[in-house]
Amino acid sequence: MNRKQLVDQIFSKQSFLCVGLDTDIKKVPECLLNNEDPIFDFNKAIIDATAQYCVAYKPNLAFYECMGVKGMISFERTIKYLKENYPDHFIIADAKRGDIGNTSSMYARTFFEEYDIDSLTVAPYMGEDSVTPFLNYEGKWVILLALTSNKGSHDFQLTADQDGERLFEKVIRKSQAWGDEQNMMYVVGATQGSMFQDIRKVAPNHFLLVPGVGAQGGSLQEVCKYGIIKDCGLLVNSSRGIIYASSGSDFAEAAAIKAEALQKEMAIELNKIK
């Protein structure tokens, strides 16, 4: 999916919500546990209930890989279901990959050829040759970790060099020589608040994937105040806050209510940039 198609979806649906499919078998409601593939059935119900309120889905690979082959089958079925039934939704494989060039090429083949997913989260730590193999695919996106939502983001990402440039700024500045605004986004945690001002100084036009609203306590209003741009430039993710809104048999309806509430707030923010 290219940037224009993503932006068209955002404005037509009045939403820049990404629903995180962090599906933990230990949190799947009891009513599904005797099914043959409870993870897929849970995802399918969540997708059907929330699709009208969001523009993207982000399955996090950790939640599938931890179940071995069975988990990967649930992942593959989820991707296939999305592509067949909701082809306009942007799909993010949250796998945080990145390795020496020939290994990154294999990761790229996995997610962009075998699964044919729109985008992949990538860790920048190993530098240019670990990232560029992901950028050779027309219509596919690298989503590079820049300033993450967790406490540990302070350990390295905020450290400045002798010229005062912080590591997350260096990542964003240098990586702009590898990809562009049409094939590269950055991850910036919603918990970073006013730091979005600093992000927009180095990446004024790039799309940002913003996890951390909901369970991690980030503020959508604050993210928008400092981070929104003319064509929106934001995909805001919530996982647990939506998919585990209820642990009962009404889990899908409860997820829809949470997703709709976020979509309504997003519509207000989009109205401000019209």
Ligand X SMILES: O=C(O)c1cc(=O)[nH]c(=O)n1[C@@H]1O[C@H](COP(=O)(O)O)[C@@H](O)[C@H]1O
Q: Closest Cα partner for 32 from 231, 179, 191, 243?
A: 243
Contact with ligand X (CB under 6 A) among 9, 15, 43, 60: 60
User: Whose Cβ is closer to ligand X: residue 1's or residue 245's?
Assistant: 245
Q: Pick the piece of the chain touching ligand X (CB under 6 A) from 39-47, 129-137, 175-183, 210-218.
A: 210-218
Q: Of 44, 83, 96, 225, which residue is the catalytic one?
A: 96
> Under a CB-based contact definition with an 8 Å cutoff, are residues 51 and 256 in contact?
no
d(CA 83, CA 102) in angstroms, rounded, equals 28
Written as six digits, the tokens of 92 are 């993010």
Q: In whole angstroms, how close is the CB of 184 to ligand X at the nearest point?
A: 14
Residue 148 lies near ligand X (rule: CB under 6 A): yes
Helix/strand number for the chain, H first, E second: 12, 8
**Strand-pair partners of 166:** 160
119 is an interface residue for ligand X by CB under 6 A = no
Size of the site for ligand X (CB under 6 A): 20
Which helix (H) or strand (E) segment holds residue 131: the answer is helix 128-131
Q: Read off the tokens for 160.
A: 């400045």
- Asked if 215 is part of the footprint of ligand X (rule: CB under 6 A), the reply reads yes
How buried is 12 (Cβ within 10 angstroms: 0-12 exposed, 13-18 middle, 19+ buried)? exposed
Distance CA 209, CA 128 (A): 20
Using CB under 6 A as the binding rule, whether residue 121 contacts ligand X is answered as: yes
Sign of torsion, CA 40 44 47 49? negative
What is the closest distance, in whole angstroms, from the C-beta atom of residue 96 to ligand X in the complex? 6
Q: What's phi and psi for 30, nearest 5 deg?
A: -55, -35
Smallest gap from residue 189 Cβ to ligand X (A): 4
Our finding on whether 59 is near ligand X (CB under 6 A) is no
Does residue 216 interact with ligand X by CB under 6 A?
Answer: yes
Tell which positions 2-21 bind ligand X, by CB under 6 A.
Answer: 20
Q: Which of these segments, 26-34, 43-51, 159-167, 234-242, binds ligand X (CB under 6 A)?
A: 234-242
Q: For ligand X, which residue of 38, 71, 189, 233 counts as binding (CB under 6 A)?
A: 189
Q: Could you confirm whether 96 is annotated as catalytic?
A: yes
User: Counting contacts by CB under 6 A, is residue 94 touching ligand X?
Assistant: yes
239 forms part of the interface with ligand X (CB under 6 A): yes
- Dig out the tokens for 8 from the structure: 């068209």
Binding site for ligand X (CB under 6 A): 20, 22, 60, 94, 121, 148-150, 187, 189, 211-212, 214-216, 237-241
- The residues that are catalytic are 96
